[in-house]
Structure 1
């Protein structure tokens, strides 16, 4: 039933599918993608010796060279004037001094608060901490925020726009609650603490006087001497009932350049070689903790990176046997995803091949594990698919056709909803292609207890399942690279700013 429905829909849209019979050539090359190869590559990339492949680190550069050597060995071209590297100009921003005191309470960074804003101050500012709660015009009319530290209650909301609105109203800084419960805050604070002293990596920008101190709901209540439930209620429409507190704060900032690279291997196509399919992953992770523990990043995103390598090898084998794809394929491993999708942002804004010629981006981020939703399921052969039908009416159906024909995985679209509270669509590198109206399809296994923990290690990877996912992605990529018509852009990007 499912096969017939999907195929009928595809044909109704004029998609050219030869039949549901398998193409022996595709099967042959897909079968070169093996669990053993995936394990070999990942055991190296996610080893302790690679020290978490942090953006700009020496180990990150070793990983980049490993990937470049791999593509060179496949016979791929280095597309950046013969090089396999695209330099990404980044800086590391260090906040050498961040202080916050409310009344007589001197708060401890990465314990009582985490600093998530920007600023550079020659001396500490003395002011009042006032409570605004929800950012509404009615509340702003009741609380004088000019020159003050302003307490915001932004649980379940996108805080960036709220912060901007309050800063534009004249606030000196923000004390923010973005989630309820001390345990939730402690997880974030512990991560900041483990990465303390390493700086924030990003593109060089002018400093904005925008101090933002994120605290737990319990800490916010303690600062105002008010129970959490009372504070939550006041946040709605009576913030003026919460007494202000004396406060002072200071932020001191410095910058240093960071050397980082996107890595790419290029396979030129035949009669449609001007059109380019991009297959991407991020090879960076988050390095080591302040105590020297390694964040191996086996699933995130070692799994995606080695999947790209195996898919590249399958295409290379085909090309060497005279079966080069019609369209060109760019295998792109980006840096700085963990710092804010930086490498893919830089590529999309400084593309090696014209954006107009980029037909589709296939992005692979975390495809080596089983998540909470499927850990107790009888059938664990699944993959989450995100973004595939927003910009093109064909892409989702092309992927489904290849899945029906070759791999028979469960294609789960639950995180493709525009109101997905996890916002997974916005959290990986396909986003930076979609913003230029390039059709995207993002493959993902969901999160688990080891996500962004030092326990994300190779021994927990489900290699046979990862092989099936990589083979599906290969089949879809092969189809996209060889079909007569490029993926049409007949949809609208309904998912804007992150």
Structure 2
């Protein structure tokens, strides 16, 4: 990008930019963000002793205490009635017994199928498995789904709405194919098997009799005794040609309370202190495997957590020197992201500071590694930024100005695409701010072989690159906190439904 043209354009758009005649004061404080400090904090939080910081675990609580004490030592305020912890009441739901039999085939949970629904049954239900294929009004007119288990084909599309439509048509339950290829299904099944016995963490809710079983495309073909390609063709417009099968199933559910907390640290601003800039990450991860291997979560999201801590230290150091931000800053480390963005959802529904006063959320989730796209690139100084221009035309411009002025990273926006098959926009905590029309920028390094594996360890983190990314976020946050006018919310959130 041509720097002079960008600056001219930015000035023409009315973005107030600092004088370049002398080194801006924020450079001094950005330089307190170091690879050495990031290494120190991450080495502790992502150590084997922390056992993967699983939501609700003792180790997660130890991590919360460590982070809270860090903020306390910086002189930041605990804004939850004097505390740094916002309690988040969760439950662990486990399904002690999930049985599914189709014809003479007794299927094995987390091998032949994955249970992704809800239910609690005293005795087994007997039914039929019918094939609907694609969920369309035409197919629903051809197949009687009432009180049946219904096989649906939902490859490459969002399945939630489809499941709802079929259940509303009277189905007793769903057997769904959402991806092709046995290997893809096996990866998910293995993850469910690893987490078996821990229970699903979430908010308490009434039991829904909503049995939903996910199977591979190959298994669906096997259940209907039909080759997969033939089943795919029938799915389009002739589902009635596929013979139904006898079925029975039973689900037994157990619910236990889980205590967890978001971590909040507050730096009050000066003349615009009622306006809040949020800098967020999630600090817990997924614990240990069924065989005792630790999911250290160094990149996901130890990297984001220690980046927030270092950025907080830079702001706190400036404040001790008498240079406080005009707007207030909330450093927010949330719980339960891996379980469904739970902590950020809880904060957005129970905010400590009014959401209407929240100017922006800068979310940091995985900023310590180099992904597949850049692993062979000559220039690896990159970061993905997601969502920065959806709700505010100012935010992306401010980010890019600070990048070309101070950081010179490659800002990659490819995952902003509305048809991004990875759906990264929906998969981290910024989402729960954006759905309330608060501008967001999500900083991310992309995925790699160690993503959600026990091999996501500290020794693989690119600390100098992580420090560069954290400095860019600091510069951007400094700008957002100190400019005369809060950024405009002049865009439209077109992605309100996960």
Smaller-chain TM-score bracket? over 0.9
Aligned to 2:301: 301
Residue 228 (str. 1) matches residue 228 (str. 2): yes
| Contact residue 18 and residue 24 of structure 2 kept, 8 A | no
User: Within 2, Cα distance between the matches of 1:9 and 1:109?
Assistant: 58
Aligned to 2:175: 175
In the TM superposition, what is the alpha-carbon distance from 1:441 to its structure 2 partner? 0.6
Say whether 1:394 aligns with 2:394: yes
Q: Could you say which residue in structure 1 is the equivalent of 2:84?
A: 84
Could you tell me which residue of structure 2 aligns to residue 185 of structure 1?
185
Segments of 4+ in structure 1 off by > 4 A? 19-22
Could you state the TM-score of these two structures normalised by the residue count of structure 2?
A: 0.99
SS in 2 for 1:131: strand
Aligned positions of 1:38-57 closer than 5 A:
38-57=38-57
1:369 paired residue number? 369
SS of corresponding position for 1:394: helix
Q: Which 5+ residue runs of structure 2 have no aligned equivalent? A: none
Q: CA deviation at 1:13?
A: 2.0
Which residue matches 2:341? 341
CA distance in 2, matches of 1:48, 1:392: 41
Q: Displacement, 1:9? A: 3.0
Which blocks of at least 5 consecutive residues in structure 1 are unaligned?
none
Query: Does the aligned pair in 2 maintain the 1:22–1:405 contact within 8 Å?
Result: no
* Inter-CA distance 327–123: structure 2 relative to 1 (3 Å threshold): same
Q: Does structure 1 residue 352 correspond to structure 2 residue 352?
A: yes
- In structure 2, C-alpha distance between the alignment counterparts of 1:9 and 1:186, rounded to whole Å: 51
Are the aligned partners of 1:87 and 1:260 in contact in 2 as well (CA < 8 Å)?
yes
- Residue 144 of structure 1 aligns with which residue? 144
> What is the distance in 1 between the residues matched to 2:235 and 2:402?
51
Contact 2:172-2:211 at 8 Å conserved across structures: yes
Segment drifting more, 166-175 vs 14-23: 14-23
Contact kept in structure 2, 1:46 and 1:298, CA below 8 Å:
yes
The 5 Å alignment of 1:73-472 reads 73-472=73-472
Between the aligned partners of 1:12 and 1:170, the Cα distance in structure 2 is 59
CA distance in structure 2 between the aligned counterparts of 1:30 and 1:68, rounded to whole angstroms: 22
| CA RMSD across the alignment | 0.9
User: When the two structures are superposed, what TM-score results if normalisation uses the length of structure 1?
Assistant: 0.99
Distance 1:303 1:414 in 2: 22
How far is 1:2 from its partner?
2.3
- Cα drift, residue 5 of structure 1: 3.4
1:98-148 deviations in Å (ceiling 9; x for gaps): 000011111000000110001111110001101100000000011100011
Distance 2:60 2:234 in 1: 48
* Alignment size in residue pairs: 498
Q: 1:15 maps to what in 2?
A: 15
SS of the residue corresponding to residue 255 of structure 1 reads strand
CA shift for structure 1 position 81: 0.5
Shift of 1:24: 3.4
Deviation at 1:490, TM superposition (A): 1.1
Aligned partners of 2:26 and 2:478 also within 8 Å? yes
> Distance in 2 between the 1:137 and 1:125 partners?
27
**DSSP 3-state at the match of 1:222:** helix
Larger mean CA deviation between 483-492 and 5-14 belongs to 5-14
Distance 1:8 1:212 in 2: 56
**CA apart distance, 1:23:** 3.6
Q: Please state how far the C-alpha of 1:19 moved relative to its aligned partner.
A: 4.3
CA contact (8 A) 1:22 1:406 kept: no
